[in-house]
């Protein structure tokens, strides 16, 4: 029996439910054990709440409220170009604000969240930019992590140093309002599509991966969760 279960009322929007499933999958990869996800009627969710109502001497149930800053996206940094006229991703960010997971501003607003384009006909490619190659280059320059096109259209597979790092980064990236997943091999998947523009989606995906990877390198290892 799983030690962790996520229970969601089936009145939630389907899209939000899929995000919760992805988050649960990330927890499962992080813990190295199954996580149950229940999408149930409101009356069943109410029964579940009643069944775990604290009794005398029990610890109270902690209620996690939405963070006030979560929906306020972080300001965009200007793109710096190298002598060849290409974005110098490694020189753009000398510091990073706090992750949305810990109360910092999310990189994107909920109304401008980046989601993978899985339909090849959904949007045309930008003839002046190889967006997928640029996202791969930017991720490598800012994190040292190798990314390659996934077998699933619309995604790049990022090879992290461990499955735990991939799962943790996946959960954090989702909270930055950029879609992320794990593939069957436990690699981190981030969106990339030929239609992406340099100053919008390309820049955002690179920024978020760099921001989260930087936090992992500087804080997660020290905290002992690596």
Specify whether 28 is located in the same domain as 135: no
The whole-number pLDDT of residue 122 equals: 57
The whole-number pLDDT of residue 166 equals: 94
pLDDT for 130-182, tens place per residue?
999 999 999 999 999 999 999 888 999 999 999 989 999 999 999 999 999 99
Lowest mean pLDDT among 1-5, 68-72, 79-83, 187-191: 68-72
DSSP state of 210: H
pLDDT category at 69 given cuts 50, 70, 90 is: very low
pLDDT at 211 over 80: yes
pLDDT at 16 over 80: no
Q: Is residue 97 part of a domain?
A: yes
Q: Is residue 64 part of a domain?
A: no
Specify whether 24 is located in the same domain as 107: no
Neighbours of 112 (CB within 10 A): 12
Angle among Cα 11, 188, 221 to the nearest 5 degrees reads 105
Alpha helices, H only, 56-162 = 89-92, 131-143
Q: Is residue 199 part of a domain?
A: yes
Q: What is the average pLDDT score of the chain? A: 81
Cα gap 28→34, rounded to integer Å: 5
The whole-number pLDDT of residue 85 equals: 73
Q: Is residue 70 part of a domain?
A: no
Q: Which domain holds residue 123?
A: 89-223
Q: Which of 66-70, 73-77, 113-117 has the highest mean pLDDT?
A: 113-117
pLDDT for 84-136, tens place per residue?
777 766 666 555 566 777 777 787 888 899 999 877 555 566 677 899 999 99
Cα gap 16→7, rounded to integer Å: 13
Q: To which residue do tokens 């200007």 refer?
A: 78
Q: Is residue 170 part of a domain?
A: yes
Specify whether 46 is located in the same domain as 125: no
Q: Is residue 62 part of a domain?
A: no
Full-model pTM: 0.62
pLDDT at 201 over 70: yes
> How many domains would you assign to the chain?
2
Selected residue with higher pLDDT from 14 and 106? 106
Specify whether 47 is located in the same domain as 127: no
Specify whether 18 is located in the same domain as 118: no
Q: Is residue 65 part of a domain?
A: no
């Amino acid at each position: 029996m799983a030690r962790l279960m996520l229970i969601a009322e089936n009145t939630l929007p389907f899209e939000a439910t899929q995000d919760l499933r992805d988050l649960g999958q990330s927890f499962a990869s992080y813990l190295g054990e199954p996580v149950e996800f229940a999408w149930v009627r409101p009356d069943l969710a109410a029964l579940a709440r009643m069944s775990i109502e604290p009794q005398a001497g029990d610890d109270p149930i902690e209620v996690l409220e939405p963070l006030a800053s979560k929906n306020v996206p972080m300001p965009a940094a200007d793109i710096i170009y190298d002598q060849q006229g290409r974005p110098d991703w490694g020189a753009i960010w000398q510091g990073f604000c706090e992750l949305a997971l810990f109360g910092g501003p999310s990189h994107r607003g909920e109304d401008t969240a980046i989601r993978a384009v899985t339909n090849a006909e959904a949007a045309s490619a930008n003839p002046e930019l190889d967006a997928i190659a640029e996202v791969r280059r930017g991720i490598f320059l800012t994190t040292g992590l190798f990314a390659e096109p996934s077998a699933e259209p619309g995604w790049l597979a990022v090879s992290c140093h461990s499955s735990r790092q991939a799962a943790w980064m996946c959960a954090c990236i989702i909270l930055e309002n950029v879609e992320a997943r794990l593939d069957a091999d436990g690699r981190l998947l981030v969106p990339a599509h030929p239609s992406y523009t340099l100053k919008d989606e390309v820049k955002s995906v690179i920024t978020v991966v760099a921001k989260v990877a930087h936090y992992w390198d500087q804080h997660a290892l020290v905290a002992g969760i690596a």
